[in-house]
């Protein structure tokens, strides 16, 4: 009798501690679909604090600062801004929880869980779209971080100003030096794997908070607390005129998070339980974003009496203080913040996405290398300042995020009824349940096209009409994500109703991950039986169902407190355990 490991959502290997991988690569998994980076994890380790820190890294950036500040400059009353902010971020929290569940339950990243909905081969459609968007923004964020580093060089090495007069491919020599430093630092961080990345974001978010609080206290002390206002706009809208602006503010918040929200499963898969992921989302989204936004508006408001004009760019604010220590601390802090968001939002995603295209040839590391090199060849410094270039390129791809999100949610929660056969996502067998038609689910493909065309049109034509002087309906573009998401959701369910494709495995338990069954995660130190040298039969190796595991897995909560490593943020970790 051979001994085979139980594989499934609660017998997962900890990826942390390994440079990469950590998946349970079973003998019967097709190597054209699986590698150790894409296979279901043998153990999940991330706590609520780790998820909280992930969102801190995503929010605490120059882009997050400007976005939060812009909400208070729309001509709304401060209470209206807070209502819009809370409504928007709560929507993001809800959707982040929804997209997290399938990956956390099965232990696979975003592109793999899409095989259930789009088909074994069709899953490459959303993976490539998301990967291309991430590559472009990875280059942009690296360029912006390099600009911050330039300020530090110019302050402490005045002679470096001469390098601004020498340029290559549209970027100054100093810019290339700063870009190369940041590019290399981010790549080395990524190359060392998810455990190192987890440790980095665990301290990066709190570190940025600390500096921002110090910056706010300093500016308020200079300005006088009586001169601080929670309204950054010079004009105020009347009540009825403010209503559509409030809705636009809600849409702005959701759109800002739409990218990392779509592939949040890449991180949620590491969560020790779905409850831990939800708790981390609560602290990392509504609580964190609300506090960060208030800190932002206080800081920006103080720049008016201190510097004589409103400054919404934190880098420019630090530069205006013009003391060596402030520039060094502020510059390095915002470099750290940008690296944090770049890693979590624009590096890890394409690494999984491109690995999913050809797992046998492209590992997670190789996928990241493709993203890093590709982002440089795009030369973002030549087009980032061109609003039209961004609108008609990234705007088109970004408009597809909504439909992709809606289709995934409809496919997992409604069509599949949260029931997934884990091993079936790793077989090229034409008789497999997720093979559909030549590896593509025609319903998902049709839904992407049918929902994507009008959504792209909504993203492009209003601005085009306005540029041509025809008529101005640009306001509808603010809601392109919601429109795309709704269309993708409804159209996919309509196509599935007319021609059902996704199996629900009713009556089956063996090898099924059931998202409707609440189960507890395996304790961190649980030993996994050694895989036999001989290939097990399909039945023995199939994933154990969620319901069966619920009866056998011990309560993980007893082992959680001792799992925390000591650090400067230990108190926060314990509060979020």
Q: What is the pLDDT of residues 293-311, one digit of tens each?
A: 999 999 989 999 999 888 8
Q: Give 320: exposed, middle or buried? Use CB within 10 Å, 0-12, 13-18, 19+.
A: middle
Q: State the pLDDT confidence band at 391, using cuts at 50, 70 and 90.
A: low
pLDDT score of 448: 97
Read off the pLDDT of each residue in 368-396 and give the average, rounded to a whole number.
Answer: 81
Tokens for 340, please give them.
């944090």
Give yes or no for a contact between 508 and 497, defined as CB atoms under 8 angstroms apart: no
Q: Does position 104 have pLDDT exceeding 90, yes or no? A: yes
The CA-to-CA distance between both ends of the chain, in Å, stands at 41
Read off the pLDDT of each residue in 511-535 and give the average, rounded to a whole number.
Answer: 54
Domain regions of the chain by residue span: 1-43+509-529+537-557, 395-504
Min mean pLDDT across 259-268, 382-391, 424-433, 558-567 is at 558-567
Which comes out higher in pLDDT, residue 136 or 62?
136
pLDDT score of 79: 87
Q: Does position 527 have pLDDT exceeding 50, yes or no? A: no
Radius of gyration of the chain (CA): 24
SS3 label, residue 158? helix
40-55 residue pLDDT tens: 998 899 999 999 999 9
Read off the pLDDT of each residue in 402-408 and give the average, rounded to a whole number.
Answer: 97
pLDDT score of 577: 43
H/E stretch holding 419 reads: strand 419-421
How far apart, in whole angstroms, are the C-alpha atoms of residue 164 and residue 381? Answer: 14
Q: State the pLDDT confidence band at 270, using cuts at 50, 70 and 90.
A: very high
Strands (E), 128-186: 167-168, 171-172
Q: Give 555: exposed, middle or buried? Use CB within 10 Å, 0-12, 13-18, 19+.
A: exposed
pLDDT score of 1: 36
DSSP 527: -
Tokens for 22, please give them.
């950590």
Q: Give 94: exposed, middle or buried? Use CB within 10 Å, 0-12, 13-18, 19+.
A: exposed
pLDDT score of 555: 38
What percent of the chain is predicted at pLDDT more than 70? 85
Q: State the pLDDT confidence band at 99, using cuts at 50, 70 and 90.
A: very high
pLDDT score of 519: 62
Q: Give 3: exposed, middle or buried? Use CB within 10 Å, 0-12, 13-18, 19+.
A: exposed
pLDDT score of 21: 61
pLDDT score of 145: 85
In angstroms, the Cα distances linking 388 to 117, 234, 396 are 34, 28, 12
Question: What is the chain's mean pLDDT, rounded?
Answer: 83
pLDDT score of 462: 82
Q: State the pLDDT confidence band at 520, using cuts at 50, 70 and 90.
A: low
pLDDT score of 332: 83
Q: Does position 6 have pLDDT exceeding 50, yes or no? A: no
Read off the pLDDT of each residue in 536-557 and give the average, rounded to a whole number.
Answer: 36
Q: Does position 322 have pLDDT exceeding 90, yes or no? A: no
Min mean pLDDT across 118-127, 141-150, 232-241, 558-567 is at 558-567
pLDDT score of 420: 96
């Amino acid at each position: 009798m051979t001994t085979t490991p139980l594989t499934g959502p609660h017998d997962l290997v900890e990826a942390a501690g390994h440079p990469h991988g950590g998946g349970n690569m079973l003998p019967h998994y097709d190597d054209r679909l699986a590698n150790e980076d894409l296979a279901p994890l043998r153990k999940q380790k991330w706590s609520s604090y780790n998820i909280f820190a992930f969102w801190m890294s995503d929010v605490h950036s120059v882009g997050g600062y400007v976005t939060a500040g812009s909400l208070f400059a729309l001509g709304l009353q401060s209470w209206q801004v807070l209502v819009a902010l809370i409504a928007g971020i709560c929507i993001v929290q809800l959707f982040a929880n929804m997209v997290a569940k399938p990956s956390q339950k099965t232990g696979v990243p975003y592109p793999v869980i899409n095989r259930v909905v789009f088909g074994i081969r069709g899953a490459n459609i959303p993976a490539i779209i998301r990967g291309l968007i991430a590559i472009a923004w990875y280059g942009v964020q690296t360029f912006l971080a390099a600009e911050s580093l330039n300020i530090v060089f110019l302050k402490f090495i005045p002679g470096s100003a001469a390098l601004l007069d020498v340029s290559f491919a549209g970027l100054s020599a100093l810019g290339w030096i700063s870009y190369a430093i940041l590019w290399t630092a981010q790549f080395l961080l990524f190359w060392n794997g998810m455990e190192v990345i987890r440790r980095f974001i665990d301290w990066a978010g709190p570190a940025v908070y600390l500096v921002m609080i110090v910056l706010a206290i300093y500016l308020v002390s200079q300005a006088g607390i009586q001169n601080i206002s929670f309204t950054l706009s010079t004009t105020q809208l009347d009540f009825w005129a403010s209503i559509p602006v409030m809705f636009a503010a809600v849409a702005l918040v959701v759109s800002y998070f739409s990218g990392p929200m779509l592939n949040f499963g890449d991180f949620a898969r590491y969560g020790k339980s779905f409850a831990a992921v939800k708790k981390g989302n609560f602290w990392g989204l509504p609580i964190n974003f609300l506090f960060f936004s208030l800190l932002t508006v206080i800081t920006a408001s103080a720049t008016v009496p201190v510097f004589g004009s409103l400054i919404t760019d934190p880098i420019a604010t630090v530069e205006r203080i013009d003391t060596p220590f402030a520039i060094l601390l502020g510059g390095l802090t915002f470099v750290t913040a940008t690296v944090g968001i770049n890693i979590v939002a624009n590096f890890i995603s394409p690494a999984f996405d491109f690995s999913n295209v050809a797992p046998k040839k492209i590992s997670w590391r190789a996928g990241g290398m493709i993203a890093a090199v590709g982002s440089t060849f795009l030369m973002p410094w030549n087009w980032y300042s061109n609003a039209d270039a961004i609108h008609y390129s990234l705007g088109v791809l970004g408009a597809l995020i909504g439909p992709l999100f809606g289709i995934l949610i409809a496919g997992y929660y409604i069509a599949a009824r949260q029931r997934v056969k884990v091993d079936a996502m790793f077989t090229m067998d034409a008789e497999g349940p997720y093979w559909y038609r030549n590896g593509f689910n025609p319903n998902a493909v049709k839904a992407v096209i049918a929902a994507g065309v009008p959504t792209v049109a909504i993203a492009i034509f209003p601005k085009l009409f306005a540029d041509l002087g025809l008529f101005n309906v640009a306001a509808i573009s603010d809601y392109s994500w919601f429109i795309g998401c709704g269309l993708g959701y409804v159209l996919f369910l309509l196509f599935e109703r007319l021609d059902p494709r996704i199996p629900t495995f009713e009556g089956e338990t063996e090898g099924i991950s059931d998202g409707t069954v609440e189960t507890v995660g395996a304790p961190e130190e649980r030993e996994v039986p050694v895989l036999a040298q001989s290939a097990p039969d399909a039945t023995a190796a199939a994933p154990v169902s969620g319901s069966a595991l619920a009866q056998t897995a011990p309560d993980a909560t007893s082992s959680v407190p001792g799992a925390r490593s000591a650090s400067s943020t230990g108190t926060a970790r314990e509060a979020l355990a």
